[in-house]
Amino acid sequence: MKHPQREERGLHELYAEDSERADAQLFGRRANPVSRRGFLKQAGLTGITGILGASALPWAGNFPSGLIPAALADSTEPFNLKAYGKQGLTVLNDRPINAETPPHLLDDERTPSRYMFVRNNGIPPTLESINVDEWTLEIGGESCANPQTFRIAELRRQFKTYSYDLQIECGGNGRAAYDPPAKGNQWTTGAVSCARWTGVRLADVLQHCGIKQDAVYTAYYGADAHLSGDPSKQPISRGVPMAKAMEEESLIAWSVNGEAINWLNGYPLRVVTAGWPGSTSGKWVTRIDIRNQVHDGPKMTGSSYRVPRNPVAPGAKVPNEDMVIIGSMPVKSLITRPQTGVEHALNTPLEIRGHAWAGDLPVSTVHVSTDFGATWREARLKAPVNRLAWQNFTFSARFPKSGYYEVWARATDGNGRAQPMVVPGWNPKGYLNNRCHRVGVFVS
């Protein structure tokens, strides 16, 4: 049975609310696009227990259609992500679950699991079905000399453990700003995280299993199910070129920030290949292949995670052969303090805080403007904890008189390339929007 394309239909309906969109454009934030009313319309009765995180709805037969359950009426989250250890995220889609993090909840140097965004392409394996002790990772593929299977405990025993702070950003982060709009989750700024991941090096494990001369690419396979329910299909299976896989920071991880990985972020085992589209970091990973060709799994081909080789006009149809796979992500920054719309007292400096990252590259500088880009001053920028970690910046802003201001931040990468102030080159799937982030400040 085929499911309707909920993702696409849902978003077009929900985006009808123009006032919300204007608000989003002004302040870079958005009212929750999945209104409780709209969500319940779609979810139906059977979905309600799921949303509530309740085991059953005993009087389901009496439940008036369209009524918002009181337990949800006061909640800002239409989907009970709290039940899964998440807090304060903006839900973009309920099937599959997709949720982003508001900027102010990304203020921590290391993103706590509860604030880590969720980008699912399919249905995760149920928590009950996951047994950490029994979980196996198979290494194989055409270019693997000695295919082998490991339990997590065996990975820990046989290989050296490493921990790195690693930033993961979805290739579609910022998609909501493209015009004409691109289909898919309408991420604004919150599909990014940076946390301390612990695991073994992908390189060590692959080398142990023998990398043949003709190796080109890796391929991950996860335990999540295709939305259609068809067990012969995977929702996503991607990988990276061998050179990226062999980097010191490319991990097969079982822990984040010293804890087990949140179920929605890939518990009990995931790949982390930071600096590249988040889609290369496979969750619930059960198999990694060493391939003798560029991997051709779902979401590797066609227009998925690809952009036009050369710039195209907005709305253009681009033939697949003119699209190239996205590698290292572009330079970007996010202001995490203050929250947009903040009221600030005149004559006191306002501390601005945020993070900047640049795919495989370091960030060299961050500049801040409080006069709509007329003048820029350099922010204090910390060195990364390690390669592929985001870098914190701080800035002390002063305002000459009362009124409305905007704080704009602009990062420059190690190659001298800076973020654009406006949305960069349109592309069919709405990837790689690295325009500057800005927040509104009312000074009085």
Ligand X SMILES: Nc1nc2c(c(=O)[nH]1)N[C@H]1C(S)=C(S)[C@@H](COP(=O)(O)O)O[C@H]1N2
Give me the residues that bind ligand X (CB under 6 A), please. Answer: 116-122, 168, 170, 193, 222, 224, 235-236, 265-266, 278-279, 281-284
**Residue 219 binds which one of ligand X, Mo ion, none, with CB within 5 to 8 A depending on kind?**
none
CB of 87 to Mo ion, least distance (A): 21
Nearest of 243, 241, 359, 227 to residue 298 by alpha carbon = 227
CB of 114 to ligand X, least distance (A): 12
If the CB atoms of residues 279 and 391 are measured against Mo ion, the closer one turns out to be 279
**Residue 117 binds which one of Mo ion, ligand X, none, with CB within 5 to 8 A depending on kind?**
ligand X
If the CB atoms of residues 282 and 330 are measured against ligand X, the closer one turns out to be 282
CB of 307 to ligand X, least distance (A): 15
If the CB atoms of residues 252 and 381 are measured against ligand X, the closer one turns out to be 252
C-alpha of 376 from chain center? 29
Scanning 117-125, 141-149, 307-315, 343-351 for contacts with Mo ion by CB under 5 A, the matching segment is: 117-125
Query: Out of 122, 235, 275, 278, which residue is the one contacting Mo ion (CB under 5 A)?
Result: 278
Under rule CB under 5 A, which residues in 160-179 are in contact with Mo ion? 170
Give the pair of three-digit tokens for residue 384. Answer: 């990364």
**Residue 281 binds which one of ligand X, Mo ion, none, with CB within 5 to 8 A depending on kind?**
ligand X
CB of 365 to ligand X, least distance (A): 27
CB of 223 to ligand X, least distance (A): 7
**Residue 185 binds which one of Mo ion, ligand X, none, with CB within 5 to 8 A depending on kind?**
none
State the virtual CA torsion across 323, 186, 390, 335 in degrees, nearest 10. Answer: 130
Nearest of 206, 358, 202, 190 to residue 281 by alpha carbon = 202
CB of 362 to ligand X, least distance (A): 22
**Residue 173 binds which one of ligand X, Mo ion, none, with CB within 5 to 8 A depending on kind?**
none
**Residue 268 engages Mo ion in binding (rule: CB under 5 A):** no
**Residue 279 engages Mo ion in binding (rule: CB under 5 A):** yes
If the CB atoms of residues 39 and 115 are measured against ligand X, the closer one turns out to be 115
What is the amino acid identity at position 9? Answer: R
CB of 146 to ligand X, least distance (A): 25
**Residue 120 binds which one of Mo ion, ligand X, none, with CB within 5 to 8 A depending on kind?**
ligand X
If the CB atoms of residues 82 and 299 are measured against Mo ion, the closer one turns out to be 299
If the CB atoms of residues 47 and 298 are measured against ligand X, the closer one turns out to be 298
If the CB atoms of residues 174 and 278 are measured against Mo ion, the closer one turns out to be 278
**Residue 119 engages Mo ion in binding (rule: CB under 5 A):** yes
Cα–Cα distance measured from residue 355 to residue 223, given in angstroms and rounded to the nearest whole number: 32
By the criterion CB under 5 A, which residues form the site for Mo ion?
119, 170, 278-279
